[in-house]
Structure 1
Amino acid sequence: MRDILKRATLVAAMTGAVPAGATELKMVIGNGPQHDGTKVMEQWAGDLETRTDGALTARVFPATLVTVKEIPAGLKSGLADIGQIVYPYHPAEFPEAAFISDFSLFATSNVAAAGAMAEYMLTCTDCREELHRNGLVYFGGLANAPYSLLATKRIVSLDDFNGLRVRSGGDAWGRWIEGLGGIKVSIPSQDAYQALSQGMLDAHTHSIGSLIDQSLVDVVTDVTDIPAGVYFGAAWNFSKKSWDALSDDERAVLFERAPYGLALSNTTLELSRRKVMDQLAELNIALHHPDDSLMAANRAFLEEEKARIVAMAPERYGVENAADKADRFLALLDKWEKLAADTPLEAQAVGDLYTREIYSHLTPADL
């Protein structure tokens, strides 16, 4: 916290001139300037400024003003106004959100996963209270594109997977890796490049799009397109201190534009994944599909995973009524998988979907 407060003195110097009477918001993200998530924030900020004729502006600080793990504290203090928080990085502060994030391996569409998470969080009293205790207001769910295995060797069968050192995107993936016979390696995704290049990892669980936006194309030689879930443990959050200081009109505009920012993020990441998938041959990366033995092991793991997550929840997170909460979330996920399948992969269409199904039933005061 002390480091965060020291950096507050630099904000004025880092922020450009703002028109008189305008409100400038500081947006923070743990990714670098070339990451799709950062570019989405910048695009959404530009849209916000245009739609309000400059009355509301935003400046994005990619991995600068605060580190990825400092974002909750930075928002709580008011140093930043909007930030992308990865809840599983902070299970003690966000046990309800981290618990639901454990079901990431059950999702197949990031548009659906983010929609289900947003609807769940915004209609969950325990979740809203948890965020308010941490000085936050929930803006909506984000989800990476579906994960695959990005590797330095061919992985097709269960035998191929046995003994592999695989980077885990979270505890759910750690259990999955070990359940299939691999060795989980728990490091941040930003460290995967170095670990793969130095032979500390054999494979990395992440979206194929990260081959480009995280430069993994330099160290990955093989991709196995196994359904390895969708990471939906992140969300845009507003500093409650900053949110309460805004006018009713400003909150109304931000509330109206929130689902479109989330839609832009989720569609951008999936479109990037598809684009890079089509480029694998020219990138000299071999694409593999899992055989029956690996797919059967994957299905067997998922059949038992729900019961494991629920059984661990009371001790691990202190979550009450875990079984009921799991059932409610998985029912929402099933609903959203169907909604996403019937919706064009376009930011406007997905934003309209999020608005119709979630935000139209709420007001800014409900956040």
Structure 2
Amino acid sequence: MLNKPVLKALTASLLISGVSFAATAQGETLRYALGYPPGTDSAKAAENYADWVEKYSDGELKVKVFPLSLLNFAETSSGVRDGMADIGYLLSPYFPAEYPHTNLLAEAAMQLQLFGDEVKGKEGPAYIGALAEYVFFHCEECNEEFQNQNQVFTGIASSSNYMLNCSQPVTTVQQLEGKRLRAAGSQWSRWAENFGATPVTLSGNEAFEALEQGVVDCVIISAPDLENLGIIEATTDITTDVPGGVFAGAEITNTNQDTWQGLTDSQRQAMLHAGAHISAEIPWVYHQRDAEVLERARSELGINIHTASEDLVEATREFVRNDMDVIARYYKERHGVENGAEMLKEFRPILEKWVKLVQEVDSQDELAEIYWQEVFSRVDPATHGM
């Protein structure tokens, strides 16, 4: 009689037509699904990740990227779980019940507002370094959540700062009141409600149509994603400095556990090394492209670029200070996370360390090397996800 691990591996091999367990060790191609369209920043990063996997595995592993074709964002969690893809660009906030501990940490990213100029322009690199370190080494619950979905955590990335992208000017507390805002996470939903606005939950793939048709008045999103998701075509006014924070719930290379366990230690190490590169590339590129996208919006499309009123900026910072306690309480009451306050307390000095670590970083390659040396190289491929 087959024992459970062997039966599980054989079942997975059938599910994904040979691209798993025994097959991957022989150099078969892994399928990588992401919900972004071809040509976007994340799709380009995924192609670069494929190159890094092949390089670090000495050609034993190859990755084929499927941008917005194999799985969309809403399908990625179950698709990777069930073996429709070997690797998936997971956006965990889309699945609050499945990944509550992970999402709690991602929601806390608005605390970057409180560091001010110390981290300005490098919010994403700082937060992702801290988050990768915390999830790999300090959050057993996070890794259990992934394993419960038949997945293994191997990398994470973020956007640049989140802005208000609207069909009318919204720069003051008064102008926020009554607006309908597409929010990509509970923290931004609470921020909207705090100022009398109504948060609307929509997939990123639906945001353009919602703004164009007046279903929402603003989309809270980063500047590069205005182009990546086509939202820039429906935008007339951008307010750059609120609500702030980064989208940090992007587990960009979550891997099907059956596939992962079918790899050799050296192949898993290669994927972790490639994971350090893509985890650095996406937030770095997003930050580098902020100014470019905003200049195109202003000069080519006639979009009005605003800064928020001083009252709105300070009120936002006060909201963030109070929201750390709210996040812990919310996840305890809604999702049964009993140690949320302790997690945030433990995470804070790690974030402070990473704010300092990235201050002098001046290239994507340098950031990838710091991620590798400080975090990814310390993950044991013989035990992680096994």
TM normalised by structure 1 equals: 0.90
Picking from 136, 143, 160, the partner of 1:122 is 136
Q: Which runs of 5+ in 2 are unaligned?
A: 1-10, 114-122
* Counterparts of residues 106-185 of structure 1 (less than 5 Å): 106-107=111-112, 109-123=123-137, 124-185=139-200
For residues 250-282 of structure 1, the C-alpha deviation after alignment (integer angstroms, 9 at most, x for no partner) is 112222222012111221222222321233321
Structure 2 CA distance for aligned equivalents of residues 253 and 10 of structure 1: 22
SS at match of 1:166: strand
Please say if residues 57 and 267 of structure 2, whose CA atoms lie closer than 8 Å, have aligned partners that are also in contact. no
Structure 1 CA distance for aligned equivalents of residues 292 and 193 of structure 2: 31
1:116 is aligned with what amino acid? A
SS at match of 2:78: helix
Structure 1 residue runs of 4+, over 4 Å off? 8-12, 50-53
RMSD of aligned alpha carbons: 2.3
2:288 is aligned with what amino acid? L
Deviation, structure 1 residue 219: 1.1
Please say if residues 31 and 38 of structure 1, whose CA atoms lie closer than 8 Å, have aligned partners that are also in contact. yes
Is 1:102 the equivalent of 2:125?
Answer: no
Name the structure 2 match of 1:234: 250
Structure 2 CA distance for aligned equivalents of residues 217 and 56 of structure 1: 37
Decide whether aligned partners of structure 1 residues 94 and 217 sit closer, same or farther in structure 2, where only a CA change above 3 A counts.
closer
Please say if residues 77 and 241 of structure 1, whose CA atoms lie closer than 8 Å, have aligned partners that are also in contact. no
Decide whether aligned partners of structure 1 residues 149 and 267 sit closer, same or farther in structure 2, where only a CA change above 3 A counts.
same
Picking from 63, 67, 76, the partner of 1:62 is 67
For residues 58-109 of structure 1, the C-alpha deviation after alignment (integer angstroms, 9 at most, x for no partner) is 1011222223222222222223111111112112221211222221322351
Decide whether aligned partners of structure 1 residues 215 and 133 sit closer, same or farther in structure 2, where only a CA change above 3 A counts.
closer
SS at match of 1:349: helix
Name the structure 2 match of 1:15: none
Please say if residues 107 and 333 of structure 1, whose CA atoms lie closer than 8 Å, have aligned partners that are also in contact. no
Decide whether aligned partners of structure 1 residues 359 and 48 sit closer, same or farther in structure 2, where only a CA change above 3 A counts.
closer
Please say if residues 56 and 274 of structure 2, whose CA atoms lie closer than 8 Å, have aligned partners that are also in contact. no
Please say if residues 74 and 203 of structure 2, whose CA atoms lie closer than 8 Å, have aligned partners that are also in contact. no
Structure 1 CA distance for aligned equivalents of residues 287 and 279 of structure 2: 13
Structure 2 CA distance for aligned equivalents of residues 98 and 197 of structure 1: 29
Please say if residues 93 and 249 of structure 2, whose CA atoms lie closer than 8 Å, have aligned partners that are also in contact. yes
Decide whether aligned partners of structure 1 residues 10 and 252 sit closer, same or farther in structure 2, where only a CA change above 3 A counts.
closer
Name the structure 2 match of 1:272: 289
Decide whether aligned partners of structure 1 residues 300 and 252 sit closer, same or farther in structure 2, where only a CA change above 3 A counts.
closer
Decide whether aligned partners of structure 1 residues 77 and 186 sit closer, same or farther in structure 2, where only a CA change above 3 A counts.
closer
Structure 1 CA distance for aligned equivalents of residues 166 and 195 of structure 2: 16
2:337 is aligned with what amino acid? V
Decide whether aligned partners of structure 1 residues 143 and 328 sit closer, same or farther in structure 2, where only a CA change above 3 A counts.
same
Is 1:91 the equivalent of 2:96?
Answer: yes
Structure 2 CA distance for aligned equivalents of residues 166 and 255 of structure 1: 37
Please say if residues 212 and 276 of structure 1, whose CA atoms lie closer than 8 Å, have aligned partners that are also in contact. yes
Please say if residues 76 and 241 of structure 1, whose CA atoms lie closer than 8 Å, have aligned partners that are also in contact. no
Name the structure 2 match of 1:196: 211
Structure 1 CA distance for aligned equivalents of residues 15 and 105 of structure 2: 37
Q: Which moved more, 1:139-148 or 1:276-285?
A: 276-285
2:91 is aligned with what amino acid? V
Decide whether aligned partners of structure 1 residues 357 and 10 sit closer, same or farther in structure 2, where only a CA change above 3 A counts.
closer
Please say if residues 49 and 275 of structure 2, whose CA atoms lie closer than 8 Å, have aligned partners that are also in contact. no
Please say if residues 222 and 288 of structure 1, whose CA atoms lie closer than 8 Å, have aligned partners that are also in contact. yes
Structure 2 CA distance for aligned equivalents of residues 10 and 335 of structure 1: 41
2:191 is aligned with what amino acid? W
SS at match of 2:298: coil
Decide whether aligned partners of structure 1 residues 97 and 80 sit closer, same or farther in structure 2, where only a CA change above 3 A counts.
same
SS at match of 1:269: helix
Structure 1 CA distance for aligned equivalents of residues 223 and 369 of structure 2: 27
Decide whether aligned partners of structure 1 residues 79 and 318 sit closer, same or farther in structure 2, where only a CA change above 3 A counts.
same
SS at match of 2:39: coil
Picking from 289, 293, 296, the partner of 2:311 is 293
Please say if residues 15 and 82 of structure 2, whose CA atoms lie closer than 8 Å, have aligned partners that are also in contact. no
Structure 1 CA distance for aligned equivalents of residues 58 and 331 of structure 2: 47
Picking from 26, 32, 35, the partner of 2:37 is 32
SS at match of 2:170: coil
For residues 86-138 of structure 1, the C-alpha deviation after alignment (integer angstroms, 9 at most, x for no partner) is 11211222121122222132235111121121111101222222222221111
Structure 2 CA distance for aligned equivalents of residues 37 and 205 of structure 1: 19
- Aligned residues between the structures: 355
TM normalised by structure 2 equals: 0.86
Structure 2 CA distance for aligned equivalents of residues 243 and 288 of structure 1: 47
Is 1:210 the equivalent of 2:225?
Answer: yes
Deviation, structure 1 residue 53: 5.1
Q: Which moved more, 1:348-357 or 1:272-281?
A: 272-281
Deviation, structure 1 residue 10: 10
Name the structure 2 match of 1:253: 270
Name the structure 2 match of 1:318: 336
Please say if residues 331 and 337 of structure 2, whose CA atoms lie closer than 8 Å, have aligned partners that are also in contact. yes
Please say if residues 236 and 304 of structure 2, whose CA atoms lie closer than 8 Å, have aligned partners that are also in contact. yes
Name the structure 2 match of 1:75: 80
For residues 30-66 of structure 1, the C-alpha deviation after alignment (integer angstroms, 9 at most, x for no partner) is 2221321112101221333345453321101122222
